[in-house]
Structure 1
Amino acid sequence: MHHVAFIVYPGFELLDVSGPASVFNGANRARRQRGKPAFYKVVLASAHGGVIESSSGIALETRPIADLRAVEAQTVLVAGAEREPLLQAVADAALWAALPHLAGKAERFGSVCTGGFVLAALGLLDGRRVATHWDSCKPFAKTFPNVAVDPEALYVVDGKLWTSAGVTTGIDMALAMITRDLDASIAGEVAKRLVLYARRPGYQSQFSPVLKAQVKGDSPFAELIGWMQSNLDAPLDVPSLAARAGLSERSFHRKFVAATGETPARFVEIARLDAARMLLSRGLSLKSVAAEVGLFPPARLAEAFERRFGVAPRLFRDMHAEL
């Protein structure tokens, strides 16, 4: 069996552990349904063992990290937390003594959400590319200048280092691990069983412009944004959008920027390119993608896509298309 060791500490984020753990359990269930033995075994460890309370008040029984053998920690993942619990974890001598050794012996190691702060403080992320919660990207980069923080990715795989962004992205990363360890069909079954809206690839932005806009519950453009997402191939210029919103062009532009933080043109381009990225990952042709997201002809899509993502859409499709 493949042992996945979650490293927790007082005040950790419960979903950083329970989400991925449920994914690994789902993979075991899918294998048993195929007449195969379970593949994953989840192990919980902390600095000194015993009952560790999460930030939500729910506590988990753990083993002392020093007692873990390498065979019980083939994958090592550090859970995230808010600032104060993280600082206490970083200062824990037992973690300093055991975690670098475990990470060095593991087949892969990493973190969920802000758990990367613990690894970075131990010097385990120097020269590496990582993901973390969107709200922690700037402080992470400032505190650890030798670590390359990717503010866009849901999760990042850098050799045997796996790091995920905010909270639920640990589920996406666990599904990717299952795909690599077993196969994509099992990962798909797990995602379906957990009623996930989609299996999100690591390169997908963890905080889309649409989500940013909809975070404000009183946004006057929530309905318009939803319509835009479903009609990316329609004319989405300021005159058309202003008319749909029942505002003058000048008033619409001003209020839209105030509500979303982006100009209408910039917002539309980002939404179209995010959609294009997802469609390309499904292996669709550039021509069909360009038409579907309103960036036709394909040359227009290619220019905008490469400007934002730094890679040609055709190459991106070849690298990421789901087979």
Structure 2
Amino acid sequence: MSKIWHFLPMHRVVFAVYPGFEILDVSGPGSAFSSANRAFGAGGQPRFYSVDLVSACGGPVASSSGVAVETRCIDELAAEAIDTLLIAGAEREPLLQAMADRAMREALPQLASRAGRLGSVCTGAFILAALGLLDGRRVATHWEACAPLAAAFPGVEVDPDSLYVVDGRLWTSAGVTTGIDMALAMIAEDLGAAIASEVAKRLVLYARRPGYQSQFSPVLQAQAKADSPFADLIGWIHGNLDGALEVPVLAARAGLTERTFHRKFVAATGETPARFVEMARLDAARMLLSRGSSLKSVAAQVGLFPATRLTEAFERRFGVSPRLFRDMHAELV
């Protein structure tokens, strides 16, 4: 049965910001919600999302880029209904100042307790953690902040891989632009996948990325750390996942002896050649499965044939069978 859209109440989204916040943490998701209103309105429906920005004292608040946004005082929302509350992230110093801000510390827990959906973008997770709102919960944050967040708040389970994590009513995203991915998932939950896909199209996004996708593919991670000869080799590996990628083949392509190649590859990338190749293959398999491809086809495309070999490696890394993963995440076409 389809929803009777005209009877949907307005959904209120509130962003909490502070001096030095990352403006993309707000403008990215905010644009997604605004685009959802336009896409929803194209069918003659009323605007669904309203967006408010709040800060400790209200008034203009300058972001890290120097662009200021107009905000309401956070105390003004004390008795108002909130459907989604999101905390923006920032670099270390502005973040520490926000975590110590008395007005924010007093008001945010009250708002959080009333919000139907609570979350953060990027390092905004630190503010929620400092308030004790993330204890015992699984969260995402920017890849550079994962280790510091886990060290500072041992009671928080930090997921270093996912673009965003949904743990009950708690939604947290990784770095900067992943806030858009999380907002699209919220829109899909609120208004359906068709509206979310239309928003992604309006924002000229390459694809709607699922939360389980890694912040960085193993190829990008290794290319960022490796010296230029291995960066070229890694690009070649990614384009030839269905081929023979044993050490002798890779060493020959790199123009090194097997022993020297193994040693230098580990030093440059932090992974053995065998583990890196398997990570690249499984990462590719995960994306192919999310598109609904058959196990046999995926196994052949990523070089983990037969399908039993793919299943064994996939379950070992992700803790779920590739067949179940596909059933859970395959996109509707």
TM-score category (smaller protein): over 0.9
Amino acid at match of 2:305: F
Determine which of 121, 124, 129 is the counterpart of 2:130: 121
1:67 aligns with 2:76: yes
Aligned residue number for residue 77 of structure 1: 86
Amino acid at match of 2:277: V
Cα distance between partner residues in 2 of 1:148 and 1:138? 11
Determine which of 117, 121, 125 is the counterpart of 1:112: 121
1:133 aligns with 2:133: no
Aligned residue number for residue 16 of structure 2: 7
Cα distance between partner residues in 2 of 1:277 and 1:71? 42
Aligned residue number for residue 217 of structure 2: 208
Helix, strand or coil: the match of 1:198? coil
Aligned residue number for residue 254 of structure 1: 263
Helix, strand or coil: the match of 1:220? helix
Determine which of 99, 102, 106 is the counterpart of 2:111: 102
Amino acid at match of 1:158: D
CA contact (8 A) 1:70 1:105 kept: no
> May I ask how many residue pairs the two structures share in their alignment?
323
1:291 aligns with 2:303: no
Unaligned runs of 5+ in 2: 1-9
Shift of 1:222: 2.5
Determine which of 213, 219, 225 is the counterpart of 2:228: 219
Shift of 1:318: 2.0
Q: Which moved more, 1:30-39 or 1:303-312?
A: 30-39
Cα distance between partner residues in 2 of 1:216 and 1:191? 31
Amino acid at match of 2:324: L
1:235 aligns with 2:274: no
Shift of 1:217: 8.4
Amino acid at match of 2:23: L
Cα distance between partner residues in 1 of 2:243 and 2:16? 49
Cα distance between partner residues in 1 of 2:324 and 2:225? 36
Distance verdict in 2 for CA 1:70–1:153, change over 3 Å:
farther
CA contact (8 A) 1:172 1:202 kept: yes
Aligned residue number for residue 88 of structure 1: 97
Q: Which moved more, 1:218-227 or 1:164-173?
A: 218-227
Aligned residue number for residue 170 of structure 2: 161
1:29 aligns with 2:29: no
Cα distance between partner residues in 1 of 2:256 and 2:47? 59
Cα distance between partner residues in 1 of 2:240 and 2:226? 22
CA contact (8 A) 2:35 2:199 kept: yes
1:301 aligns with 2:310: yes
Amino acid at match of 2:190: D
Shift of 1:269: 0.4
Aligned residue number for residue 5 of structure 2: none
CA contact (8 A) 1:179 1:186 kept: yes
Cα distance between partner residues in 1 of 2:233 and 2:117? 44
Instruction: List per-residue Cα deviations over 1:187-214 (Å, max 9, x = no partner).
Output: 1122222222222111111122211123
CA contact (8 A) 2:81 2:114 kept: no
Amino acid at match of 1:223: D
Q: Which moved more, 1:196-205 or 1:29-38?
A: 29-38
**Aligned ranges for residues 272-291 of structure 1 at < 5 Å?**
272-291=281-300
Q: What percent of counterpart residues are identical? A: 75
Instruction: List per-residue Cα deviations over 1:3-23 (Å, max 9, x = no partner).
Output: 111100111111111111111
Q: In angstroms, what is the RMSD of aligned CA positions?
A: 1.7
Unaligned runs of 5+ in 1: none
Cα distance between partner residues in 2 of 1:90 and 1:42? 23
Shift of 1:215: 2.2
Aligned residue number for residue 319 of structure 2: 310
Distance verdict in 2 for CA 1:191–1:217, change over 3 Å:
farther
Q: Which moved more, 1:10-19 or 1:310-319?
A: 310-319
Q: Give the alignment's TM-score, normalised by structure 1.
A: 0.95
Amino acid at match of 2:16: I
1:265 aligns with 2:270: no
Helix, strand or coil: the match of 1:197? coil
Cα distance between partner residues in 2 of 1:187 and 1:86? 31
